[in-house]
Amino acid sequence: MNAHEEAEFEGAVAPSNDDEGGLDSDQTALEDLDPLVAMTLQRDEMQVAAQQIKADFENYKKRVNRDQASLVERATERLLEELLPALDSFELASSSLEAGAEADLEKLTKGVALAIGQLQSAVERAGLLRIDASGAPFDPEEHEAVIHDDGDGDPVVEVVLRTGYKLKSRVLRPAMVKVTRAATD
């Protein structure tokens, strides 16, 4: 660069996005400069814009992650609040057991049944549904067969060994079942 071009370069002002002239006035100012200087200024402006977009996107990702974490935390809090009464009932039943021979078996049984009912009610409100399997046709999507009886008919659930559950419409845990094949007449 000669002295005249250096003076022109140092006196040049990078175009800004603040003025209302926009790209047209910026383009006119760049045309008055040496093409190399003009391209350098354009490149620098584009780098600044790209860095701003990158920073905005990073901030957006952080905000979305923070919002998702907050949503999960609130949902967890709500479920735990629903489960606390059942926990209280089980603790009362446990303290009744510690009382030993003085414990009334009928009261203990009612307390455990109450706690189970509270627990079932809380998980049902959260969308957990029991899979009704006993006597139903075997469905590998909802049932896990661990015992099979041979036969010629269609497989049917004879005994439920462990209850299965769905969360809304998705199988959370399949029912563990004994399957029999009833002979067709």
User: Which parts of 99-173 fold into alpha helices (H)?
Assistant: 105-125
Is position 138 within any domain?
yes
Is position 39 within any domain?
no
Q: What is the pTM of this model?
A: 0.56
Is position 98 within any domain?
no
Q: Which residue has the higher pLDDT, 12 or 130?
A: 130
Domain total of the chain = 1
pLDDT in tens, 102-157: 557 777 788 888 888 988 888 888 888 999 888 889 899 999 999 888 878 888 99
Is position 177 within any domain?
yes
Q: 37: Cβ–Cβ under 8 A, 6 or more apart, which residues?
A: 5, 8, 9, 12
Provide the Cα torsion 66, 69, 74, 80; round to 10°: -160
Report the C-alpha gap between 123 and 175 in whole angstroms: 17
Is position 47 within any domain?
no
Q: What is the CATH number of the domain that holds 139?
A: 2.30.22.10
Secondary structure of residue 162 in the 3-state scheme = strand
As a residue count, the chain comes to: 185
Domain with 153 in it? 128-185
Is position 19 within any domain?
no
Is position 90 within any domain?
no
pLDDT in tens, 19-58: 444 555 566 665 667 888 889 999 999 999 999 999 999 9
Is position 106 within any domain?
no
| Residue-level pLDDT at 100 | 64
